[in-house]
Structure 1
Amino acid sequence: MARLRLPRPDQPAGAAELISIPSERTDEMKVTFIAADGTATVVEVDEGQSLMQAAVSHDVDGIIGECGGSMMCATCHCYVDEAWAERVGAQQDGESDLLDCAVSEVRPGSRLSCQIRMTAELDGVVIHLPEAQL
């Protein structure tokens, strides 16, 4: 559970001792990005957010998102883990054309992370990243 930490009313601003109260946010889910070297990065993602937006906002190495998610560049190419492929679904219209231009090898499970929107069904999804995007 996410927690918001606030100083107690009797403490000055910036006091070291803090109390915790539960956050109102309950919509964050997790995605695991696995780099080509095997390093895993787990990030929290809001429902409806694209996996590319989540990766870029959390500085995940391996996802560039040069076009900002407008499906124009293929710098958010990723590989959906085989165990999650059915839940994530097939490529959207136009994805395969862009993936043909991707620097890294196109494999089964290749997707543009800008086209994958987070849903409760995808909570915990595992995404593998290629060695290079440019």
Structure 2
Amino acid sequence: MVKISVTNLAGQTRTIDADEGMSLMENIRANDFDDLQAICGGCCSCCTCHVYVEDGWYEKLPTQADDEAMLIEDSECFQPGKSRLSCQIEVSGDMEGLTVTIAPEV
């Protein structure tokens, strides 16, 4: 299990035990964060699993694929160097201490 801190839309932060090999989106949803809609179920087609990655972590995560980058850059809530789709991040042991905030839906 990997400890990851997640902040919901109300500003409440909770640390979860995330399973390696599952996506960050799957882990967040499995821990009852209903703010993360993930409508497409992880197909990288809807942007409803958008999160902001805490400073210092963005560069440590796997590089975005072109389809994720194009989709998320079109979001009204896009923040360069922070925005990622949680469905596209596979949790690994080196993500211990990762902190993310669920992005607002517009």
In 2: Cα distance, 1:37 partner to 1:63 partner:
12
Q: TM-score, normalised on structure 1? A: 0.70
SS of the counterpart of 1:31? strand
Q: Do structure 1's residue 57 and structure 2's residue 30 form an aligned pair?
A: yes
Aligned partner letter, 2:75: A
More strand by share: 1
TM-score of the superposition, structure 2-length normalised? Answer: 0.87
Deviation, structure 1 residue 36: 4.1
Q: Do the aligned residues in 2 keep the contact of 1:74 with 1:101 (CA within 8 Å)?
A: no
2:8 to 26, 35, 50: 35
Name 1:91's counterpart in structure 2.
Answer: 64
Number of aligned pairs? 106
- Secondary structure of the corresponding residue to residue 56 of structure 2: helix
1:76–1:93 distance in 2 versus 1, CA, 3 Å: same
Aligned residue type for 1:118? V
Return the alpha-carbon distance in structure 1 between the equivalents of residues 35 and 66 of structure 2: 24
Query: How far 1:61 sits from its partner (Å)?
Result: 3.6
Verify the 8 A CA contact 1:35 1:131 in the aligned structure 2. Answer: no
Structure with higher RCO (Cα < 8 A, 6+ apart): 2
Q: Which runs of 5+ in 1 are unaligned?
A: 1-27
- Over the matched positions of the two proteins, sequence identity in percent amounts to 31
Displacement of 1:55 in angstroms is 1.0
- Ranges in structure 2 where 5+ consecutive residues have no aligned partner: none
Say which of 74, 79, 90 aligns to 2:47: 74
2:18 aligns with 45
Larger Rg belongs to: 1
1:81 Cα offset (Å): 0.7
